[in-house]
Amino acid sequence: MELRMNYRSANPEAFKTLLALEQAAQKSGLDHKLYEIIKLRASQINGCSFCVDMHSKDLLSMGESVDRLLLLPMWREVPIYSDEERAVIELTECVTKLSEAGVPAEVYERVRKHFDEKQFVDLVMAITTINAWNRIGVATGLFPGCFD
């Protein structure tokens, strides 16, 4: 594998701008473990190996179980995620694959059972942010360890 470019040095201003969005999402008040689950699920869908590696390790360091990491793509088929987590994972999938079906009303309603309007926007911003990172990572050829 070969890194196509270091996007950080190629365009530092763009990197700083996205980093500011990341910091806003981190400060939004979302549960940190839930935010990492969002990051991991979107990264799995988008095929960003760099981000899958990073967010899996981050979740493990937060005490997340290996089973919950490995079974995340099959979240509908296992009873190890809470209703709140299921709603957020489903929203993550819908926003990440927006062109397929948008965000159906029933998904919105499931999320709103657990989150108010501000929190819903926080979730969408968090999902949007990781999708931006994934697109940069895949387009520039990031892979685990490429910056080591």
CATH of residue 38's domain is 1.20.1290.10
Task: Check pLDDT > 90 for residue 17.
Answer: yes
In-domain check, residue 115 = yes
Nearest-angstrom CA–CA distance, 120 and 88: 9
In-domain check, residue 89 = yes
Average pLDDT of the residues in 96-121: 98
In-domain check, residue 7 = no
Global pTM reads 0.95
In-domain check, residue 46 = yes
Nearest-angstrom CA–CA distance, 66 and 95: 25
What is the pLDDT confidence band of residue 23, given thresholds at 50, 70 and 90? very high
In-domain check, residue 5 = no
In-domain check, residue 62 = yes
The average confidence (pLDDT) of the chain is: 96
Average pLDDT of the residues in 28-35: 97
3-class secondary structure per residue, 28-78: CCCCHHHHHHHHHHHHHHHCCHHHHHHHHHHHHHCCCCHHHHHCHHHHHHC
Structural domain including 58 reads: 14-140
Average pLDDT of the residues in 70-97: 98
In-domain check, residue 55 = yes
Nearest-angstrom CA–CA distance, 139 and 112: 34
In-domain check, residue 145 = no
**Region of residue 62 (phi > 0: left; psi between -120 and 50: alpha; otherwise: beta):** alpha
Of 116, 119, 120, 80, nearest to 103 by C-alpha is 120
Nearest-angstrom CA–CA distance, 53 and 143: 9
Res 72: pLDDT: 98
Q: How many domains does the chain have?
A: 1
